[in-house]
């Protein structure tokens, strides 16, 4: 066994998964125990305004068919709705339902709680440096910024 630390990407993944687990547990506590991690990853990609399924699939990193199936499930569960596309009468856009908006607010509150815990653990200066560095990395890693 070696004393080497995991690669930076692994460390970032561990932190991300910790937030995901906390958010999913909080959603379950709020009565959304029927939403899966895959579904939550699609929901969190929804912009405040309605969006096309193809754009949602691209941002979630899944096929249009997979996104369509997940959207069908989320719509049936009452978390999403499809609305007419004002620019194309034949097309439909995907957006959050009132319940979906409520769940996103609950998730955001839990993320804020985790971030407060991290700030308390790391100290304000180290937390600010971490945040600043990750924001800078986003310049070269996030195609949707």
Tokens of 15: 């932190």
pLDDT tens string 105-115: 999 999 999 99
Rounded to an integer, the average pLDDT of 22-30 is 97
Higher pLDDT: 127 or 2? It is 127
Its pTM stands at 0.86
Q: How far apart are CA 32 and CA 13, in angstroms?
A: 24
Q: How confident is the model at residue 98 (pLDDT cuts 50, 70, 90)?
A: very high
Q: How far apart are CA 23 and CA 105, in angstroms?
A: 11
Average pLDDT over residues 35-54: 89
The tokens for 6 are 């995991």
The string of pLDDT tens digits covering residues 59-96 is 888 899 999 999 999 999 999 999 999 998 888 999 99
Q: What is the pLDDT of residue 90?
A: 87
pLDDT score, position 1: 53
The arithmetic mean of pLDDT across residues 18-46, rounded, is 94
DSSP, collapsed to helix, strand or coil, labels residue 81 as strand
């Amino acid at each position: 066994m070696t004393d080497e630390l995991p690669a930076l990407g692994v460390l970032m993944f561990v932190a991300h998964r910790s937030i995901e687990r906390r958010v999913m547990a909080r959603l379950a506590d709020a009565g959304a125990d029927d939403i899966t991690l895959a579904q939550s990853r699609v929901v969190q990609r929804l912009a405040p305004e309605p969006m096309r399924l193809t754009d949602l699939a691209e941002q979630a990193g899944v096929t249009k068919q997979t996104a369509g199936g997940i959207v069908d499930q989320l719509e049936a569960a009452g978390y999403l709705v499809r609305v007419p596309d004002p620019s194309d009468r034949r097309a439909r856009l995907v957006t959050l339902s009132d319940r979906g908006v409520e769940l996103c607010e609950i998730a955001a509150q839990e993320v804020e709680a985790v971030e407060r815990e991290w700030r308390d653990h790391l100290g304000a200066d180290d937390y600010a440096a971490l945040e600043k560095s990750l924001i800078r990395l986003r310049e070269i890693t996030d195609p949707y910024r």
